[in-house]
Amino acid sequence: MKHFFSTLLFLIVVLSLGAQTHVTERKSGSHADGITYFLPRTRLQIVITAERTTHHAGQLAPYADQYLREPNATQQDYDTWQITSLALLPYGVADSAHAYTIRFDQRSSAPFVKLAPDGTLLSINGEPAPMPQLATPSVVTLQSAPDDLGGYKTQEMLAASSTQKMAELAAEEIYDIRENRAALSKGQADFMPSDGTQLKLMLSTLDRQEAGLLRLFLGYETKERHVITVDYEPQPERGVRDIAFRFSKYFGLVDRDDVSGEPYYLNFNFSTPPSQQTPSTTSTLRYYAPGNVEITLTSKNGTHLSGMVPMAQYGRIENLGGDLFNSQFRTHVTLSPINGGILKIEVAQ
């Protein structure tokens, strides 16, 4: 846990039963008489798992229709993308607009404060909750290029005076392979194998040779799995529907304003309007009562994700009474690193 948090520890000598923990609103930054902390804003990490297929044109693609009657052969390299899964992961970031300071007070019993690296308050007098585990962008090869590209060219093909002549010779070789395979299958070949095992081996060899030569005309494909992450910060002022990202069949993830991509929308449904009033008293600890927001991720193909997410900016700021940190109490508070709400509170006398 040490790598998640900066731990601020100060030991207090308890002198009075009437002492309180004083909290004042401040801008960010350290100072001599207290500890400044932030309340969080809730963000969403959209995790897109997509498959990228690269279609590679064959060396002899321009002659595929002429010699093999294949009019749809790929003539130039291009990509196609397909989303295979989507996920939403909420997490919190420090909100500099809501910075507060716990003043050092010799009579307070709030000695142990833990902050996230960005200054978000995580706990007092106790261990913080685990930080959310976010996804990391990655690329995994699913299907690589064949290792026999061009390996089935005959000496005549390699010595051809032009690409068209090479295509003619390659097509003739393909037709010869097909005739030989048909003859073997019918038992009519000039040199029939002595047993079934040899027959299977000869047919398999002919299949590989044909496939290798066909790639010269029809090309081949490679595939990759991409994990792509998009950070999105919901803002109530944007309304209840907003474009989260755009995804193109041919280019993958594109800019939000790039109309070549299909828009994916985040829809927000909350029962009460967000309230961001600032508490008036300065003798309390600030925390969020997060608002429960129903979030759906949609596109023209329907709803992809739906769930309820407690979010800071759709809730309200509350006060945790300063009396709970008087010298007669040792209060343990654990806050959510995602939305600033109280996860656990224990009061010991």
pLDDT tens digit sequence for 275-304: 655 554 455 688 999 999 999 999 999 999
Summarize pLDDT for 136-146 with one digit per residue, the tens.
Answer: 999 999 999 99
At residue 9 the predicted structure's pLDDT band, cuts being 50, 70 and 90, is very low
- Give the DSSP letter string of 50-81: EEEEEEEPPTTGGGHHHHH--TT---S-EEEE
At residue 125 the predicted structure's pLDDT band, cuts being 50, 70 and 90, is confident
At residue 13 the predicted structure's pLDDT band, cuts being 50, 70 and 90, is very low
Query: Tokens 């833990």 identify what position?
Result: 114
User: Of 154-163, 280-289, 294-303, 336-345, which range is least confident?
Assistant: 280-289
3-state secondary structure of 90: strand
At residue 327 the predicted structure's pLDDT band, cuts being 50, 70 and 90, is low
168, two tokens: 């003619």
Q: How far apart are CA 294 and CA 51, in angstroms?
A: 29
Residue 347 backbone class (left: φ over 0; alpha: ψ -120 to 50; beta: rest):
beta
Residue 11 scores a pLDDT above 50: no
pTM score of the predicted model:
0.81
What are the residues facing 113 on neighbouring strands?
8, 124
Instruction: From 46, 108, 113, 126, select the one nearest 83 (Cα to Cα).
Output: 46
Beta-strand pair 112-115/121-124: antiparallel
Q: For 163, phi and psi rounded to 5 degrees? A: -65, -35
At residue 190 the predicted structure's pLDDT band, cuts being 50, 70 and 90, is confident
303, two tokens: 């709803």
How many angstroms separate the Cα of 289 from the Cα of each of 237, 240, 316? 19, 20, 5
Do 339 and 308 touch, CB atoms closer than 8 A?
no
Which has the higher per-residue pLDDT, 286 or 191? 286
The widest CA-to-CA distance across the chain, in whole angstroms, is 108
Non-local (6+) Cβ contacts of 166 within 8 A are 60, 153, 157, 160
Per residue in 109-144, is it b (16+ CB within 10 Å) or e — as a string? bbebbbbbeebbbbbbbbebeebeeeeeeeeeeeee
pLDDT > 90 fraction of the chain, expressed in percent and rounded: 61
User: Of 36-40, 221-225, 323-327, which range is least confident?
Assistant: 323-327
Average pLDDT for residues 98-126, to the nearest whole number? 77
At residue 239 the predicted structure's pLDDT band, cuts being 50, 70 and 90, is confident
Q: How far apart are CA 9 and CA 344, in angstroms?
A: 20
257, two tokens: 């304003």
Please provide the average confidence, as pLDDT, over all residues in the chain: 84
3-state secondary structure of 315: strand
At residue 1 the predicted structure's pLDDT band, cuts being 50, 70 and 90, is very low
Q: How far is CA 41 from the centre of its chain?
A: 19
338, two tokens: 């995602």
Q: How far is CA 153 from the centre of its chain?
A: 44
Q: How far apart are CA 63 and CA 78, in angstroms?
A: 19
pLDDT at 277 (0 to 100): 55
Summarize pLDDT for 28-84 with one digit per residue, the tens.
Answer: 444 556 788 999 999 999 999 999 999 999 999 999 999 999 999 999 999 999 999
Residue 323 scores a pLDDT above 90: no
pLDDT at 194 (0 to 100): 77
Count Cβ atoms below 10 Å from residue 332 Cβ, excluding itself: 15
